[in-house]
Amino acid sequence: MATAPVAELEAYRDEADRFIAALDEEYYLHFAGLKEDFELSPIYERFSDLTTLDACRRLAASAEIEGRGARELWRFGCEGYVGDLTRAEAEEIAGLEASLTATVDGEEIGYRLIRPSIANEPDRGRREELDRARVSLTEEHLNERYVRIAQARKSATKELGAPSYRDLYMRFGFPLEELGRQCERFLADTEDMYVRAMDALFRRRVGIPLEQAKRWDIPRLFRANEWDTGFPGEKMLPALESTLAGLGIELGGQENVHLDIESRPTKSPRAFCAPIEVPGRVMLVIQPIGGPDDWHALFHEAGHTEHYAHTSADLPVESRRLGDNAVTEGWAMLLELLVNEPAWLERRLDFARPEDFAAEASAGQLYFVRRYAAKFLYELELHGETELESMRARYVERMQDALKIEVSGVDFLADVDAGFYSSSYLRAWAFESLLRSFLREEFGSAWFTRREAGSLLRELWAEGQRPTADELLAEVTGAELELGAVADRIGETIRA
Ligand SMILES: [Zn+2]
């Protein structure tokens, strides 16, 4: 097969860079409430040459010869190719989600508002009714489309030369099998701790033991507002600024970081980061509301922002914008989880009972990591050479085993991350746990107040995503990336 010559690969890099910049800019404008329409199609059309089957095959051949950088471009091309084939269905799903409504107790409610309503509903019977309404709308209107997306993905994968989606991602260098083994171990090792911690949390927040908990009680569990007053909206930005200042970073003085705090009617209520140019123009968009979730979201997005803003401009596009996403998610988690840290809460917020909050937050983290571990193991099966029909029951079985709460089979395709992104989150949690231990050993439990710690972070951020999370960690700490570290970190806080 013909290989793309070096000059061709160079041109591909430049075009890919412009393509991603255009997508991120459109994303920013729409979700910041500056542009009503969300017009991705013209951008995809303009750059359609980058994601043809022919382009993917040429990139595959280059990847064999040139190694990791070209392999990242190959993955980018393939994800675009699969995306093109499934986009119409995905847009239809989004349209239906925005327009479908259910009538519960004589009240009409939009599909996307059902989940938040469940969280805010104190009455269990009504929570159950709302859940049933969501399940039947999903079954009736959305699932046939999810099935078509899954089938299109399977056949596109074969055209790209791999027997399964799972096999394709292993060729991209994803350590799927090793991570699968770590997930199995993590689920077994944390089961007792999970049952004890979640039982206590359910009793305290929802007034029922874990054994009686149903899936419609989960959003309620996480909506508990007893900590809201400790996390006021007006203190979010000052706390972020002083945290970064402690690390030697002056947020207001970063010319390439654009803080969008203006309030607009259609602006996303949730913080997000849009790295339009890396490192030249990184948007951090917020509309501060307050409460722990909102604080977590802001600090998470600030982690992405600082990572991209410090990435070296000299790196090629595959190291600035592509590469191992466990790296940028790991930096995001490092800042996000500061919000649960008693040493941080005492310094940056006037906070009562920080240890109690930290213990509850760790129980919540354990729920999410177990959920992701089970979901990832399920995805490994789903994306292997299995029949789609058998997977609905598998999904329910896997999730129930991990969570001890019955989930609905209706979500067996909706609850799946494209491109094994779940593996990036899991590895990011492990990265955060090990890096935090290192920072605490090196700089003390208040490491976030030390400029030397900030200098180290800046050095590591500059590397972008050229090294994998495993390589970065080994470079700094000598440790191996292991999910077991997350169990240790959570266990310490829950017991404290
Ligand atoms: Zn993230």
Closest by Cα among 397, 326, 7 to 175? 326
Domain boundaries, the chain: 6-103+142-163, 182-495
Nearest CA among 203, 199, 214 for reference residue 131? 214
Cα(425) to ligand 1 centroid in Å equals 8
How many angstroms does the Cα of residue 305 sit away from the middle of ligand 1? 10
Look up residue 3 and give its DSSP letter. P
CA distances in angstroms from 235 to 173, 232, 288, 456, 461, listed in the order given: 42, 6, 9, 27, 26
Distance 304 CA to ligand 1 centre (A): 7
Q: What's the CATH number of domain 182-495, 3.40.47.10, 3.30.830.10, 1.10.1370.30, 3.30.530.20?
A: 1.10.1370.30
Does position 1 have pLDDT exceeding 50, yes or no?
Answer: no
Taking the centre of ligand 1 as the mean of its atom positions, its distance from the CA of residue 48, in whole angstroms, is 27
- CA dist., res. 383 & res. 381, Å (int): 5
CA of 294 to the centre of ligand 1 (A): 14
Query: Cα of 287 to ligand 1 centre, how many Å?
Result: 17
CA of 23 to the centre of ligand 1 (A): 17
**Among 337, 312, 305, residue whose Cα is nearest residue 425:** 337
Inform me whether the pLDDT recorded for 12 exceeds 80.
yes
Rounded to whole angstroms, how far apart are CA atoms 205 and 63? 52
Q: List the single range of 1-15, 40-54, 101-115, 266-280 with lowest mean pLDDT.
A: 1-15
Single pTM value for the model: 0.96
User: Which residues are in the CB-under-5-Å shell of ion ligand 1?
Assistant: 329, 332
Tens digit of each residue's pLDDT (9 = 90 or more) over 357-369: 999 999 999 999 9
**Residue 268 near residue 31, CB atoms below 8 Å:** yes
Per-residue pLDDT tens over the stretch 250-263: 999 999 999 999 99
* Spacing, Cα 272 to ligand 1 middle (Å): 9
CA of 301 to the centre of ligand 1 (A): 6
